[in-house]
């Protein structure tokens, strides 16, 4: 005879779970929740563990892109060694002068742009970036006579789906473009992502940023605007990606203009940066 006390006694959780039919709803839900918990712990653990390596890879990729835009990248090159050719500096964008307010080796311009203490909110914001870091990281390349040969400036702005981050390299006159490339964006492959297409990027070298009156004449457009010398100042927009192209036009004009690096480049020419 079964003992009445034993059959009514509360069972442990595990025993109650085991006693459930395999296809019962509570059992299915319990298994699903447990599985989700275990998986999320594995994924978040992996994300935390891999974060330092991701940061190292991000920095390496940025340096590779700076080398590429400056024409110093070759396959198999030791990126860290080649990168030591650059002189990283910080520029106070509003003053247009070099700044020693932070360490250029460790300064993170993207992080500074999000920090209200180290950035300004933009009222006139054609590049759609909302906030602009007060200090910008620039990279100088000097020749054997220690004269500036190339200036690499960070640029970013909104395309269609994403913020595009890149660099523009200028020759020593601070006007002729040596190259332009983006190292991060989320535009559509085959459409907006054609900003990475070497054929499209090949349009930039040799073009000029500033017209004779100092205005920013470089532009990305479907057609050459009236009054502009296309051979010097025009970049063809990407077919089927007018909105990304417009974003690039806006961001280049912004960063090369008065709110961007124009004052710095003018000062550099006068030896007053
Ligand atoms: C799925 C999808 C992805 C798109 N991605 C982009 C893009 O990355 N950049 C862009 O400018 N236009 C993109 N477009 C196209 C735009 O919606 C728009 O049609 C285009 O910019 C107009 O360019 P066009 O005047 O050269 O045709 C995309 C459209 C679709 C349907």
- The structure's pTM equals 0.84
Question: Residue 103: phi, psi to the nearest 5?
Answer: -85, 115
**How much distance in Å is there from the Cα of 193 to the middle of ligand 1?**
10
Question: Both tokens of residue 180?
Answer: 């332009």
Q: Which residues line ligand 1 (CB under 6 A)?
A: 160-161, 187-188, 191-192, 239-244
pLDDT given at position 7? 53
**How much distance in Å is there from the Cα of 224 to the middle of ligand 1?**
21
Pairing assessment for the beta strands 234-236 and 219-221 based on DSSP bridges: parallel
Q: Rounded to whole angstroms, how far apart are CA atoms 106 and 109? A: 10
Q: For a pocket test of ligand 1, which of 159, 239, 241 has the largest count of ligand atoms closer than 8 A to its C-beta?
A: 241
Q: Give the residue, by CA position, lying nearest to ligand 1 atom 4.
A: 188
pLDDT given at position 12? 87
Our CA dihedral for 168, 93, 116, 244, rounded to 10 degrees, sits at -30
Kind and range of the H or E element at 124?
none
Per-residue pLDDT of the chain (273 residues; tens, 9 = 90+): 444 445 555 678 888 888 889 889 999 999 999 999 999 999 999 999 999 899 899 889 999 999 999 999 999 999 999 999 999 999 999 999 999 999 999 999 999 999 999 999 999 999 999 999 999 999 999 999 999 999 999 999 999 999 999 999 999 999 999 999 999 999 999 999 999 999 999 999 999 999 999 999 999 999 999 989 999 999 999 999 999 999 999 999 999 999 999 999 999 999 999
**How much distance in Å is there from the Cα of 219 to the middle of ligand 1?**
19
Handedness of CA 153, 218, 113, 63 (dihedral sign): negative
Place of tokens 């051979």: 231
Handedness of CA 146, 149, 155, 161 (dihedral sign): negative
Largest CA distance in the chain: 106
């Amino acid at each position: 005879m079964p003992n009445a006390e034993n059959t009514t006694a509360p069972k442990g959780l595990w025993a109650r779970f085991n006693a459930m039919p395999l296809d019962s709803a509570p059992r299915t839900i319990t298994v699903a929740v447990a599985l989700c918990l275990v998986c999320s712990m594995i994924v978040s653990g992996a994300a935390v563990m891999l974060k330092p390596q991701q940061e190292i890879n991000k920095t390496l990729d940025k340096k590779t892109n700076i080398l590429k835009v400056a024409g110093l990248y070759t396959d198999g090159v030791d990126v860290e060694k080649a990168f030591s050719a650059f002189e990283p500096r910080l520029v106070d964008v509003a003053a247009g002068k070099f700044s020693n307010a932070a360490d250029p080796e460790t300064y993170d311009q993207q992080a500074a742009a999000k920090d209200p203490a180290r950035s300004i909110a933009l009222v006139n914001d054609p590049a759609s970036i909302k906030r602009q870091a007060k200090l910008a990281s620039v990279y100088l390349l000097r020749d054997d006579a220690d004269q500036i040969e190339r200036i690499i400036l960070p640029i970013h702005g909104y395309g269609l789906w994403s913020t595009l981050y890149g660099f523009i390299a200028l020759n020593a006159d601070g006007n002729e473009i040596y190259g332009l490339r983006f190292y991060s964006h989320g535009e559509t492959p085959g459409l907006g992502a054609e900003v990475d297409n070497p054929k499209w990027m090949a349009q930039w070298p040799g073009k000029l940023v500033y017209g004779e009156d100092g205005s920013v004449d470089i532009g990305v457009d479907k057609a050459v605007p009236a009054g502009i010398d296309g051979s010097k100042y025009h970049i063809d927009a990407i077919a089927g990606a007018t909105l990304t192209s417009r974003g690039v036009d806006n961001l280049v004009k912004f960063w090369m203009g008065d709110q961007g690096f124009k004052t710095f480049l003018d000062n550099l020419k006068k030896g007053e940066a």
